[in-house]
Every structure is written in C-alpha cells, then in structure tokens.
Structure 1
Amino acid sequence: MGMLASLISGLASGETVAAVRRARTAAIVYALATIAALCGLGFLIGAGYIWVASHLGPMMAALSFGAGFLVLAGLILLIHQISAGSRARRETRRRNADMKAIGITAALAVLPALLKGKGGLGVIIGPAVALAAYAIYRENVKPGADDGDTDQS
C-alpha cells in the first residue's frame, strides 16, 4: 500500500511530469547528436574517397570503397551468426532456470495444503521420488541417445 501511496503522491506533486519532460529533452538531444555524428561520418568517408581517388583514380576508388563496404557487411553478418548460437544457449539456460524457480515456488506454495490433506506426506513423497529418479536418469543418459536415430550408416 505504501508504494501505491508514493506513486500517487509523485503524480500529484508533478515529479512525474518533470521526469517525462527531462526524458523527452534527453531523447531529442541524443537524436540530434546521432544525426550530427552520422553526417560527420559521411563527410569522413567522402574525404577518404577523395584522397583515394586522387591516388588511384575515381574508378578504382569507387571499386575499393564498394568492396570494402561489402567486406564490412559480411564481417558484421558473420559475427552476428557466431554470436547468435551463444545467445540462444544463454537464453535457454535462463529460461530453464526460470522454469525451475517457478516450479519450486509453486511446489512450496502448495506444500502446506498437501500436508493438511488426507494423503499427507505420502502425496508429497511419491512425486518427489519420481522426480529424483528422472533427474538421475537424465544425468546418466548419453547425449543424443534419446534421438531415436537407429540408422548407423
């Protein structure tokens, strides 16, 4: 209840309006700085082209810059593909940890009600033993053994 009261008092005092105004101003400033930086980068690329064109000629300069930007694009895509695999593994680990935490929380929330019921401790011990047996099985099974691929060509 205290958090709701502080939120309502913040709205009433105008702090929220001031914070939104500051965020909007910061967004505009960063957008203008980004536009200026991109213009500066464009002029630097243009200056580099002019310098290369004065040494190699306009056709070779254009070909060199085109090839350079294509190589840069290829490197960016290659790095993205390499990092996508590790990113997917990290997300899978995080998702598994979240699901385990949700399961443990749900089990702990239901535990008092199960202990008070008719079955009592037996209702809890049965599934717990089954989960422990399954965990032991998963730990000892070889990776790829449950693929169902029996073709050994």
Structure 2
Amino acid sequence: MGMLASLISGFASGETVAAIRRARTAAIVYALAGIAALCGLGFLIGAAYIWVALRYGSFAAALSFGAGFLVLAGLILLIYQISAGSRARRRAQRRNADMKAIGIAAALAVLPALLRGKGGLGVILGPAVALAAYAIYRENVKPDGPDEGERK
C-alpha cells in the first residue's frame, strides 16, 4: 500500500510529469545525434569511395565497396545465427524460472486453504511424497545411452 501512496503522491507533486519531459527531451536529443552520426558516416564512406576511385578507378572502387558491404552483411548474419542458440537457451531458462516462480506463488496462495480443509496436511503431503519418490527413482535409474543398447 505504501508503494501505491508513493506513486499517487508522485503524480500529485508533478515529479512524474517532469521525469517524462526529461525522458522525452533526452530521446529527441539522442535521435538527432544519431541522425547526424549516420550522415557523417555516409560522407566518410563517400570520401573513401572517391579516394579509392581516384587511386584505382571507378569500376574497381565500386566493385570493392560492393563486395566489402556484402561481406559485412554476411558477417552480421553469421554472428546473428551463431548467437541465436545462446539467446534461445536464455529465453528457455527465463521461462522456466518464471514458471517456477508462478508455481511457488500459486502453491503458497493455496496452502492456507488446504491446511484449513478436511484433508488438511494429507492433501499436501501425498503429492509431496510422490514427487520425492519420483525424484529418487529418476536419480537412481541409469540413462539408456546409444552405446549401452548395442553392447552385449
């Protein structure tokens, strides 16, 4: 409840509006700086093209710049594909952690009602014992690898 009161008082005092204005101003400044940087980069590439064209000829310059940008695009795509596996693993870990947290929160929310009910502690201990038994079973069973089924 204290956080809600802090939020309401922040709205009332105008701090939130001032923070939004500062964020909007910073976003506009960074966008303009980014546009200026892209223009500068374009002119630097143009200057490099002119220099290479004067030194080696316009056909060789166009060919080398075209090949260079295609190689750059290929490298970017290759790096993206290589890193896709690690991103997928991170998403799966995050999703598992979220599901675990939701499960724990749901269990804690239902726990008082289960303890007050007719079954009481038995309703909780039954599945818990079954899960513990299954965990012990999985720990003690040897996994069937591809090599073990072929040996005799």
TM-score, normalised via structure 1 length: 0.83
5 Å matches for 1:137-152? 140=141, 142=143
The gaps in structure 2 that reach 5 residues or longer are: 147-152
Q: Which amino acid aligns with 2:107?
A: A
Q: Which amino acid aligns with 1:129?
A: V
Q: Which shows bigger deviation, 94-103 or 3-12?
A: 3-12
CA separation of 1:119 and 1:2: change in aligned 2, threshold 3 A:
closer
C-alpha separation between the residues in 1 aligned to 2:86 and 2:54?
Answer: 45
5 Å matches for 1:45-60? 45-60=45-60
Q: Which amino acid aligns with 1:116?
A: R
Deviation string 1:42-87 (CA, Å, 9 cap, x unpaired) is 0110111111112211011101000110110011011111111110
Per the TM alignment, residue 120 of structure 1 is displaced from its structure 2 partner at its CA by 2.1
Per the TM alignment, residue 123 of structure 1 is displaced from its structure 2 partner at its CA by 1.2
Please state if 1:26 is matched with 2:26.
Answer: yes
Q: Which amino acid aligns with 1:107?
A: A
Deviation string 1:11-32 (CA, Å, 9 cap, x unpaired) is 2222222212211111111011
| Paired residue secondary structure (1:119) | coil
C-alpha separation between the residues in 1 aligned to 2:52 and 2:144?
Answer: 55
Counterpart position of 1:99: 99
C-alpha separation between the residues in 1 aligned to 2:142 and 2:41?
Answer: 56
Per the TM alignment, residue 35 of structure 1 is displaced from its structure 2 partner at its CA by 0.6
Deviation string 1:85-122 (CA, Å, 9 cap, x unpaired) is 11001110111122112212222222222222222222
Q: Which shows bigger deviation, 93-102 or 67-76?
A: 93-102
C-alpha separation between the residues in 2 aligned to 1:120 and 1:15?
Answer: 50
When the two chains are superposed, the root-mean-square deviation of aligned CA atoms in Å is 2.2
Q: Which amino acid aligns with 2:104?
A: I
Counterpart position of 1:74: 74
Instruction: Name the % identity.
Output: 85
Deviation string 1:112-149 (CA, Å, 9 cap, x unpaired) is 2222222222211221122223444555574899xxxx
TM-score, normalised via structure 2 length: 0.83
Aligned residues, how many? 145
Q: Which amino acid aligns with 1:3?
A: M
C-alpha separation between the residues in 2 aligned to 1:13 and 1:125?
Answer: 52
C-alpha separation between the residues in 1 aligned to 2:45 and 2:142?
Answer: 57
C-alpha separation between the residues in 1 aligned to 2:99 and 2:145?
Answer: 23
